[in-house]
Amino acid sequence: GAYNPRYSGVLERAFSLRKAHSIKDMENTLQLVRNIIPPLSSTKHKGQDGRIGVVGGCQEYTGAPYFAAISALKVGADLSHVFCASAAAPVIKAYSPELIVHPVLDSPNAVREVEKWLPRLHALVVGPGLGRDDALLRNVQGILEASKARDIPVVIDADGLWLVAQQPALIHGYRKAVLTPNHMEFSRLYDAVLRGPMDSDDSHGSVLRLSQALGNVTVVQKGERDILSNGQQVLVCSQEGSSRRCGGQGDLLSGSLGVLVHWALLAGPEKTNGSSPLLVAAFGACSLTRQCNHQAFQKHGRSTTTSDMIAEVGAAFSKLFET
Ligand SMILES: NC(=O)C1=CN([C@@H]2O[C@H](COP(=O)(O)OP(=O)(O)OC[C@H]3O[C@@H](n4cnc5c(N)ncnc54)[C@H](O)[C@@H]3O)[C@@H](O)[C@H]2O)[C@@H](O)CC1
Ligand SMILES: Nc1ncnc2c1ncn2[C@@H]1O[C@H](COP(=O)(O)OP(=O)(O)OP(=O)(O)O)[C@@H](O)[C@H]1O
Ligand SMILES: [Mg+2]
């Protein structure tokens, strides 16, 4: 119908009410994120605030696992490991002396090599820069199975999601899994699991249904607004970011989520007021990534890159969570 100016005031008021409501929801959820953050203390030993592993990195992609692993450290983990293909290891080591890099993913003993470390890890981030080589993916399948057997929380991103789309049974029903698909990865997963195209006009419903169909694993659909669900609750994160979409922002998100998932599970549901700890952790990682993007864009504009965003992690974290 034609635009009727008589209604515009009503619509505007309804819109601003909805916006005010969602700002209040966001603030309430941010408070839950604050509750799960462990206090800094001089009596802690190295490792207590998190030992995180990133599984990814191959001949082509060395940036993605680096971004994920360094972000985990910058958010507050004490130790960050990368398990990558042998060709990627010297490159990642050269980016940073702060990461522990294991060139094992293309070894015939890959699963055993990673399994040795699992008792010492609090969470795994699987997929950044993994690539889609069949032999690597088979090894990662074994690593995922070993992690589940030990009840280690896993964040699955990028090519880890490619693997899950081929074999949803790998993570079906695993309550300590969080998936962080971008637009493409989400539709690929949705097609594979629900055997039909998603309804793009109902993103809440699509995220909810995908989570349910995967046995209530937590799903984070990244986009203009991030939509998060554990099959019961749906949260929306619309923290202001920017219009700059350089590659690697998703890796910052999955790496920081690795730490936050560990903190949230340690804190437990009392600290999250009955909400799912994984959902609260995911909301924290989305808000943080978007705030980093916002701050970096204010300084660098169109030339903003993921490294500029990582330089903002400390200030963004304080602004959101230490107010
Ligand atoms: N520096 C690096 O090493 C980086 C490596 N990366 C790795 O690259 C590999 C492939 O990741 P991709 O994310 O490209 O995955 P895909 O190969 O599934 O492709 C995603 C595609 O979807 C497109 N797309 C994204 N958002 C869209 C939207 N809203 N609507 C329509 N199209 C959209 C993108 O342009 C991209 O071509 C992964 O291993 C990933 O970790 C990325 O993380 C980026 C940084
Ligand atoms: N249109 C948008 N406006 C604001 N923020 C966005 C937009 N699209 C994505 N983001 C944010 O950017 C971050 C990464 O999402 P994105 O969809 O770029 O992931 P990705 O494709 O996996 O990235 P990567 O290049 O690291 O693989 C998320 O925090 C998300 O909230
Ligand atoms: Mg990605």
DSSP element (H, E) containing 15: helix 5-36
Residue 8, domain member (yes or no): no
Q: What domain range is 224 assigned to?
A: 46-321
Closest alpha carbon to 278 in 294, 258, 297, 293: 258
104: its two tokens: 């094992």
Q: Which of 138, 242, 226, 132 is nearest to 179 (CA)?
A: 226
- Residue 182 beta carbon below 6 angstroms from any ligand 2 atom: yes
Task: Tell me which ligand sits closest to the C-alpha of residue 240.
Answer: 2
In a domain, 35, yes or no: no
Q: Which contacts qualify for 106-112: CB closer than 8 Å, 24 or more apart?
A: 106/58, 106/133, 106/135, 106/136, 106/139, 110/139, 110/142, 110/143, 111/139, 111/142, 111/143, 111/146
Going residue by residue through the chain, which has 323 residues, state the pLDDT in tens, using 9 for 90 and above: 445 555 556 556 655 656 665 778 889 999 999 999 999 989 988 888 999 999 999 999 999 999 999 999 999 999 999 999 999 999 999 999 999 999 999 999 999 999 999 999 999 999 999 999 999 999 999 999 999 999 999 999 999 999 999 999 999 999 999 999 999 999 999 999 999 888 889 999 999 999 999 999 999 999 999 999 999 999 999 999 999 999 999 999 999 999 999 999 999 989 999 999 999 999 999 999 999 999 999 999 999 999 999 999 999 999 999 97
Query: Ligand 1 pocket by C-beta < 6 Å: which residues?
Result: 61-64, 128-131, 158-159, 182-185, 223, 247-248, 250-251
Binding-site residue positions for (6S)-NADPHX? 129, 182-188, 251
Question: What is the Å distance from ligand 3's center to 120 Cα?
Answer: 26
* 55 falls within a domain: yes
Cα dihedral sign, 219-147-130-297: positive
What residues pack around ion ligand 3 (CB closer than 5 A)? 158, 250
Q: Flag whether the ipTM exceeds 0.95.
A: yes
197: domain CATH number is 3.40.1190.20
What does DSSP say about strands 226-229 and 234-237: parallel, antiparallel, or unpaired?
A: antiparallel
**Is residue 310 assigned to a domain?**
yes
Residue 276 forms part of a structural domain: yes
Residue 257 in contact with ligand 2 by CB distance below 6 A? no
Question: Is the residue at 63 inside a domain?
Answer: yes
Q: Which pLDDT score, from 0 to 100, does residue 24 have? A: 80
**In a domain? residue 306:** yes
Identity of residue 79: L
From the list 125, 159, 126, the residue with the least C-alpha distance to 256 is: 125
Report the alpha-carbon distance of residue 156 to residue 3 in Å, rounded.
Answer: 45
Q: What is the pLDDT of residue 55?
A: 99
CB of residue 286 inside a 6 A radius of ligand 2: yes
Distance, CA 222 to ligand 2 centroid (Å)? 6
Least distant ligand from the CA of 245: 2
Neighbouring residues of 140: CB distance < 8 A, sequence distance ≥ 6: 55, 105, 126, 127, 130, 160, 163
- Beta strands at 79-84 and 154-156: parallel, antiparallel or unpaired: unpaired
Look at the chain and report how many structural domains it folds into. 1
CA atoms 294, 82, 138, 61: torsion sign: positive
Say which residues have a Cβ less than 8 Å from residue 318's Cβ, sequence separation at least 6.
Answer: none
DSSP 45: P
Beta strands, E only, 78-225: 79-84, 100-103, 123-126, 154-156, 177-179, 218-221
Cα of 55 from ligand 3 centre, angstroms? 14
What is the 296 CA–ligand 2 centroid distance (Å)? 14
Opening angle at CA 239, ends 156 and 188, nearest 5: 35
Residue 249 in contact with ligand 2 by CB distance below 6 A:
yes
Over the range 200-218, which residues count as b (16 or more CB within 10 Å of their CB) and which as e? Answer: eeebeebbbbbbbbbebbb
How many whole angstroms from 171 Cα to the centroid of ligand 1?
22
Residue nearest to atom 39 of ligand 1 (CA): 129
Q: Whose CA is nearest to atom 22 of ligand 2?
A: 250
238 located within any domain: yes
